[in-house]
Amino acid sequence: MKKPHFIITGFEPFLQHERNPSAEVAHHTAALLQQRYDQKAEHHTLPVTYDIARDFTTKLGASSDHILVHIGLAASRTHISLERRAHNACGTTPDNDQKLPGDLWSAPHGGLQQDGPQTSDTQLDLESLKQELEDYPHITLPEVRITHDAGTYVCNAIYYHSLQHNKNSVFIHIPPMEPKQCMELSQALAHALHTLTLSQPPQSDHQ
C-alpha cells in the first residue's frame, strides 16, 4: 500500500478579517505530520478567490493517495466544524479579487458548476476524526462538531471542487484562534490524521 500524501491548505486574510488562523494551522499540521509521524505532507496558503477554489485540486493532478485537508476561518462560530458536505451554491459576497463565480464562468445561476451535483460528501470517516481530536491528551480544544453546511463562500467552493476530484477530502472550519491555540489544534489534528490513515488507508474513488 502506498503512503498517503497529505495536502493541507489554509487561506489568506479576507473581508474584514486581518488575520486568518487557518493558514497557521495548515502550516503547523503539515510540519508535524512530517516531523513527528514521518508522513508525506505539504501545505499551501491560498488566496480567497473563486478561481483558485475551482482550479487548485485540478492542478494537483489526480492521485488516489492524496488526502486533502482544507482549513478555513468561520469567524462567527465558536466550535470546530468537520464539514461533511459541500453544496453547488454560492452567495453574493465577492472574493478577494472582487469577483463572483458568475463573473468568471458566465454562469450566474447561483451555483458553482453547471450540471454538477447539488451536494457532494466526503468519504473520510469524520466520526473517527472527531473522536481522535477529542481524545488528544493535555489540551482543551473548542468543541468539535460534524456539520453539513460549509457556507456559500470560497470555503464551500473549494470543498465542492475538491470533492469532484477526490472524496478523500475534508473541510475544517475553525473559529477565531490565538497562535497558541493554533499550535494546539495542529498537534491534535496531525495526530488524528496520522491515526486515521493507519486504521483506514485512503480508498480510491469510484465515481
Are 52 and 46 within 8 A, CB to CB?
yes
Confirm or reject binding of residue 185 to ligand PCA (CB under 6 A).
no
CB of 20 to ligand PCA, least distance (A): 5
Helix (H) or strand (E) holding 117: none
Considering only residues 127 through 156, tell me which ones interact with ligand PCA, judged by CB under 6 A.
151, 153-155
Q: Does 160 bind ligand PCA (CB under 6 A)?
A: no
Identify how many contiguous H helices and E strands the chain contains and give both numbers. Answer: 6, 8
Location of C-alpha cell 456559500: 152
Distance, in Å, from the CA atom of 74 to the CA atom of 172, rounded to the nearest integer, reads 9
Q: Pick one of 9, 22, 166, 186: the residue that binds ligand PCA (CB under 6 A).
A: 22
The CB-of-131 to ligand PCA minimum distance in angstroms stands at 25
Kindly tell me which of 80 and 155 has the beta carbon lying closer to ligand PCA. 155
Q: Which is nearer to ligand PCA, 176 or 201 (CB)?
A: 176
Q: In the set 32, 48, 86, 141, which binds ligand PCA (CB under 6 A)? A: 48
Question: Does 11 participate in binding ligand PCA (rule CB under 6 A)?
Answer: yes
C-alpha grid cell, residue 8: 493541507
**Closest C-alpha to 122, from 98, 149, 86:** 86
Strand partners of residue 70: 9, 171
Q: Kindly list the residues in this chain that would bind ligand PCA in the complex (CB under 6 A).
A: 11, 14, 20, 22, 48, 72-74, 151, 153-155
